[in-house]
Amino acid sequence: MNAPVHHSPYDEALGVAVEAARAGAAIIRDHAGSQRNVRAKGTNDFVTATDEAAQAAILEVIQTAFPNDAILAEERPAGHDLPPAVSEKEVRRWIIDPIDGTMNFMQQVPPYAVSIARQDPTGLQLGVVLDVPHDELFTAVRGHGLRVNDEGASVSHTSALADAFVATGFPYRRLGHTNRYLEVLSDFLRSARGARRHGSAAIDLARVACGRFDGFFETGLAPWDVAAGILCVREAGGRVTTYRAQGGLAPVYRQQVCATNSRLHAAFLSRLHRMRDITD
């Protein structure tokens, strides 16, 4: 499949992002089932040799095409954290997660994905989420919508929480607020049609964007987990904020994400209010 065409000024860059995602996915598929050199970056936070090899393949494609663009990638050297906003000096930045859902990949339990976005001083330009096991490609371009395997898609029309199918992510790095999270989850379980936890924020956001889920919430997320997925949701007609209803990418930098089809956003935020001060 060629890169989807959104008929936008960013289609050339989107083509590079899709090529890079597929280069990373090829590495991931080649290494499926053979995990070596697994290291812990923190509590329940792992990196494999495959993460690093996939990221190298992704960066080779992007940096060949756009050598002057800045890079914010998950598997970066220690001390190389960057702020969420792009400076006028940087002009553009790529935000990359070579494997979103590394633990799923380690256990060979889908889903897991390559997530790539590009950002400029005015916001996110484009986003690509490639569901590797299912070979499903989600692409979004600012002002030019969402496409899934080059077919147009949009968020659901669900308007009542009782009819909502909800995705979430469990606390797994810092567990001090687990009880409060379980209280919120219990509220959703009682109020909504059903809830699922898949272990890949990029996939959950992409599935909200195309209407499979009606909403998603999780704390402790980094920009590479969510950047591409955020644009997918917004371009599909949905809304993404923190639990305090703040928008933009910067407020969700290592913080919370609440993503919905827009119609359910107030209902989600009213239940997430008790976690508004929890970011990790």
SS (H, E, C) 78-130: CCCCCCCCCCCCCCCEEEEEEEECHHHHHHCCCCCEEEEEEEECCEEEEEEEE
Report pLDDT for 8. 92
When the candidates are 3.40.50.150, 3.40.50.2300, 3.40.1390.10, 3.40.190.80, the CATH number that belongs to 161-275 is 3.40.190.80
Collapsed DSSP state (helix, strand, coil) of residue 268:
helix
0.85 surpassed by pTM: yes
Q: Give the pLDDT band of residue 192 (cuts 50, 70, 90).
A: very high
Q: Where in the chain is the domain with CATH 3.30.540.10?
A: 11-153
11-153 homologous superfamily = Fructose-1,6-Bisphosphatase, subunit A, domain 1 (3.30.540.10)
Residues of the chain within CATH 3.40.190.80 domain(s) are: 161-275
Q: Is the pLDDT of residue 154 over 80?
A: yes
